[in-house]
Structure 1
Amino acid sequence: MNKPYDFTVFIGRFQPFHTGHLKVVREGLNQADKLILLIGSAWEPRNPRNPWTHQEREEMVRRCLSEAENARLLCLPLMDVPYNDEVWVRNVQSTVNGLVIAHHTVPHRPAKISLIGHRKDQTGFYLSLFPQWSSISIENYHKISATPVREAFFIDEPERVARELVSNDILPQQVADYLIDFSRTHPGFQHIHDEILFIKKYQQAWNTAPYPPVFVTVDSVVIQSGHVLLIERRASPAKGCGHCRADS
């Protein structure tokens, strides 16, 4: 059966991949021969907002799909470009175009491409940034947000939380199993757990302040002899972050 599109494109962070994401992925595969999944916030350091690498998130996705579905799924990482939508759009276009050139199998006909996502959700703003492609808007399933999922998983008992998220149709079972294994075996779990608790405790210490505090972390940039000096942090927040590189 011919599908409406050759490629659908779904862009997201998937921190973690939840049931709402899975609904979009399945619809993307239903609408096109291949689904291009661009995994955002790639190469970010492991932190409370980005606990899992793009490789780990791709594995979560693929665990939820059949062998036949995985054969039609194309995953690539996508770097964030803060405060510059124009550069980000160009990055998306070049990534998608490269995949289309490599995988479009119909000669003498331009590929039919459509973006897919939640238009009513703030994370779906990108659906209007690519007028050259069609767009498919999917209802946000149960209005699931990954943010409370992350917080509950890292603050509370991870195995109990994961099971509850499955029973509430928020996480696929395959993702819950992956997260439970992550909490048992990966040192990154304890790092994120400690970081979140530190931040919450620090913020709570200001609850009695006579004015609403603004929590901002600011670092100085030191340039000497053509080098940028970055000092590794020994304590939370962002413990362990920092490196030194030559300034070009």
Structure 2
Amino acid sequence: MTKKYDFLIFIGRFQPAHNAHIEIIREALKLAGQVIILIGSSFQPRTHKNPFTAEEREKLIRSAFESDKYHCETDLIFRYVSDKLYNDQQWALEVQSHVQDVLEEFGDGLASEMKVGIIGHKKDNSTFYLDMFPQWGDPVEFPNVKDLHATSIRDYYFNEKWNDDDPLSPDVFTEMCKDYLNDGIFNFMTDWRKTETFEYLSGEYSFYENYKAAWKDSPYPPTFVTVDGIVIQSGHVLLVRRRAFPGKGLWAIPGGFLNQGESVEDAVIRELREETKLKVPPAVLKGSIEESKVFDHPHRSLRGRTITHAHLILLNPGPLPPVKGGDDADKARWFSLEEILTMESQLFEDHYSI
């Protein structure tokens, strides 16, 4: 029987893939010959918001269709998409490029003659992207299943107050989430709780919860102001490795919170010297500031609303000055620009985008 679409596109983070996601894919398979599943946030470091790698997410989705009549290997086509927090059009270009590549590889005939659509659930402002691709027609909308959200599943999964060591206590993750997850995905997540990575992410989740609790009595939701210093010399960028939560072990742009009574320029120079021991006089650093820019994506930090003033500091070509980690950094190091381009999964928060 001829189907309405040759290809339907389904975009999501799938952290984790739950029954609503699986139902959308099943519906897409009824409507289209093949389904292109674009996994978002594919190259982010692991956090409690993005705990599973793109490869793990693809494997888990495929596992939900192992006993299905559909031929998972050929009917489900996966591609991985990176985040572009400050450039929606660049993100759209990456999506379009992936789809075009799939049409050329798997399509039968000219790409311009194929019937292509996009499917999804418009849950809130975060799904604005469903309307970014008019060339694929009106989105095929799918209703939410039992008001199910991956955020709630992750909260039950990582929150220590639900994971009591008392053997007589009910396992709240199992109690609350088992009915919303495919058996294979649920079993994977249950086993994954025994790993060191889960222990790390659970500890980081607790850090964030305690951090937010400290501000719960504030009369207004807090907005934090930070600074970052992108120092470039001779084709290299200076980074630090974070000593503690959040982002323990990840590389980051040197920076930190703005102190009372200091300008953002003074703050970035202070943070650079504290975290990298960079032996360049403060006056030279300040005079080498090429430009500054505000990065204020509402969800750029899991700590809460955090606005950073990033400063691009271009030092004259020459030997790279020695650096050493200090304060919040356990290590400082110069990276070539070529290396930086491969480090999206190793950089803290939105620092790769910056």
Contact (CA 8 Å) 1:162, 1:179: kept in 2 or not? no
Q: Separation in 1 of the partners of 2:111 and 2:97?
A: 21
1:221: how far off?
2.6
Match of 2:72 in 1: 70
1:65: how far off?
0.6
Q: Which amino acid aligns with 1:164?
A: E
- Mean CA deviation greater in 212-221 or 188-197: 212-221
Match of 1:171 in 2: 181
Q: Separation in 1 of the partners of 2:33 and 2:220?
A: 56
Matches within 5 A, 1:31-46: 31-46=31-46
Q: Which amino acid aligns with 1:119?
A: K
- TM-score normalised over the length of structure 2: 0.64
Matches within 5 A, 1:97-136: 97-106=100-109, 110-134=113-137, 135-136=139-140
1:53: how far off?
0.6
Match of 1:157 in 2: 163
Match of 2:349 in 1: none
Match of 1:190 in 2: 199
Match of 1:96 in 2: 99
Contact (CA 8 Å) 1:162, 1:176: kept in 2 or not? no
Q: Separation in 2 of the partners of 1:180 and 1:217?
A: 37
TM-superposition CA deviations, 1:59-110 (whole Å, max 9, x none): 1101111363413100111111112111111111110010011111357982
What is the CA RMSD across the aligned residues, in angstroms?
2.4
The answer as to 2:60 corresponding to 1:60 is yes
Match of 1:79 in 2: 82
Q: Separation in 1 of the partners of 2:46 and 2:89?
A: 26
Q: Separation in 2 of the partners of 1:41 and 1:61?
A: 16
Q: Which has the larger radius of gyration?
A: 2
Q: Which has the higher strand share?
A: 2
1:217: how far off?
5.8
1:215: how far off?
4.5
**Identical pairs, percent:** 39
Contact (CA 8 Å) 1:5, 1:113: kept in 2 or not? yes
Contact (CA 8 Å) 2:100, 2:111: kept in 1 or not? no
- Mean CA deviation greater in 121-130 or 205-214: 205-214
Contact (CA 8 Å) 2:153, 2:177: kept in 1 or not? no
Q: Separation in 1 of the partners of 2:244 and 2:107?
A: 50
Corresponding residue SS for 1:45? coil
Q: For residues 219 and 111 of structure 1, do their structure 2 counterparts lie closer, same or farther at Cα, with a shift above 3 Å needed?
A: same
Q: Which amino acid aligns with 1:163?
A: T
1:245 to 310, 327, 335: 335
Q: Separation in 2 of the partners of 1:108 and 1:247?
A: 36
Q: Separation in 1 of the partners of 2:221 and 2:121?
A: 33
Contact (CA 8 Å) 2:10, 2:38: kept in 1 or not? yes
1:236 to 242, 245, 249: 245
Structure 2 unaligned spans of 5+: 165-169, 253-333, 339-354
Corresponding residue SS for 2:52? coil
- Mean CA deviation greater in 128-137 or 3-12: 128-137
Considering Cα pairs closer than 8 Å and 6+ residues apart, tell me whether 1 or 2 has the greater RCO. Answer: 1
Segments of 4+ moved more than 4 angstroms? 106-109, 208-212, 215-218
- Mean CA deviation greater in 146-155 or 214-223: 214-223
Corresponding residue SS for 1:230? strand
Q: Which has the higher helix share?
A: 1
Q: Which amino acid aligns with 1:223?
A: I
Q: Separation in 1 of the partners of 2:125 and 2:79?
A: 22
Corresponding residue SS for 1:220? strand
Q: Separation in 1 of the partners of 2:226 and 2:190?
A: 32
1:209: how far off?
4.8
TM-superposition CA deviations, 1:138-177 (whole Å, max 9, x none): 111122111121121011339934422445x322222111
Structure 1 unaligned spans of 5+: none
